[in-house]
Copies of this chain bind each other. A is one copy, B any other.
Amino acid sequence: MSFFSKKADEILPYVPGEQPKDGVYIKLNTNENAYQPSPKVKEALNNLDVSKLRLYPDPESTKLRETMAEVLGVNKENIFVGNGSDEVLAIAFQTFFMEKDNILMPDISYSFYLVYSDMYNVKAKTVPLNDNFTININDYLVPNNGIIIANPNAPTSISLSRDEIETIVKNNPKSVVIIDEAYVDFGGETVVSLINKYNNLLVIRTLSKSYSLAGLRVGFAIGNEELIKGMNKIKDSFNSYPIDFVAQTLAIEAIKDIEYFDKTRNMIIDTKQRTKEQLEKIGFTVLDSKTNFLFIMHKNKKAEDIFNYLRENKVLVRFFNKPKTDNWLRVTIGTDEQMDRFIKIIKDFVE
């Protein structure tokens, strides 16, 4: 017998975007926020009661969940907190989809969904997007045992409306429908308020993008109390304390600073619009983005060539070398200065 379990032998892990250690790149490859986290985070860090670090943190992240609940207009019993939305997704897959077949998801989406499917013995049924990368909601009004959709979708950046998501949720009362809203704050329509109407809806969020806290590892899910209870059973059979004391404390302050949150996400939305127009002027097709990134294709330069040229010029973007997406690039929206530099370099190449 091998030292390893069958799963450890066979699984093909997710590969995250590159995190260069030398710091010389303009980093537009992992959809991090262009701006610093709220100044309240720095303040909370300086005021942190270090003596609390010797104690286990609150396993239920109660104060953090209360803060999230207040901002979202739900109850704390509707909220599950995890170590980044990746952990929340992994726990949701184990809670709702593990060992089931016929779980629907778009064929182009966050590629970790297929890794979770392999990991937790889920038979995923990938549903092709339309040729223009949009989702046809009728494809999700068929028999299934669960649905997961990123909305807005990644890497396409395109969003379904709230009404379209509601149609899917309403017509699948026996399936848990997971809507991954990692990017919703940059222009999408959230369905959080529908959790009180539908007991089969789970919405997943993260502080990594719109709250500029990728380094802190806080994600959360919002849903009916029964769904959240199920997730807590799986979490408490895995790790009682996934959110450390510092992360719980800092996340609370970031979430409470709504003014800063609105200011920075609006700055990104403005920069995105400007960047889109500039790219269109030099021959790019740019999909209608409701995220903090653009999905772009040039009329006569190959994506891989543009990717390599940008890299040589110290700009990192993301290239997905897979069927249907292998002539597209995903470009995170940085600061105005970063995007000016990006446009200048890419213009040199394509013109």
Measured CB to CB, the residues of A under 8 A from B are 1, 3-8, 11-17, 19, 21, 27, 30, 32-37, 41-42, 45-46, 48, 50-59, 62, 83-84, 86-87, 90, 94-100, 115-116, 118-119, 145, 174, 176, 200, 208, 212-217, 226-227, 230-247, 250
Contacts and interface: CB of A to CB of B under 8 A. Distances in A.
Contact of A8 (B45, B83, B98): B98
A241 B213 contact: no
A213 B53 contact: yes
Contact of A4 (B57, B96, B235): B96
A244 B227 contact: no
21 contacts: A7-B99, A8-B230, A8-B231, A12-B237, A13-B236, A32-B54, A35-B54, A45-B50, A45-B246, A53-B212, A53-B250, A54-B213, A54-B215, A56-B215, A57-B217, A115-B237, A217-B241, A217-B242, A244-B244, A244-B247, A247-B247
Q: How many copies does the complex hold?
A: 2
Nearest to A35: B54
Contacts of A15: 236
A226 B116 CA distance: 23
Contact of A3 (B41, B96, B99, B247): B96
Nearest to A5: B98
Contact of A16 (B36, B59, B145): B59
A9 to B, nearest CB: 8
A10 B50 CA distance: 39
Contacts of A245: 215-216
Contact of A95 (B5, B48, B50): B5
B37 A54 contact: yes
Nearest to A211: B54
Contacts of A41: 50, 53
A237 to B, nearest CB: 5
Q: Which 5 A-B pairs have the closest CB atoms?
A: A13-B236, A215-B245, A5-B98, A53-B215, A54-B212
Contacts of A232: 13
A192 B200 CA distance: 48
B8 A56 contact: no
A94 B5 contact: yes
A87 B215 contact: no
A57 B223 CA distance: 28
A273 to B, nearest CB: 21
Given A45-B45, A86-B241, A238-B90, A230 B54 contact: no
Nearest to A56: B214
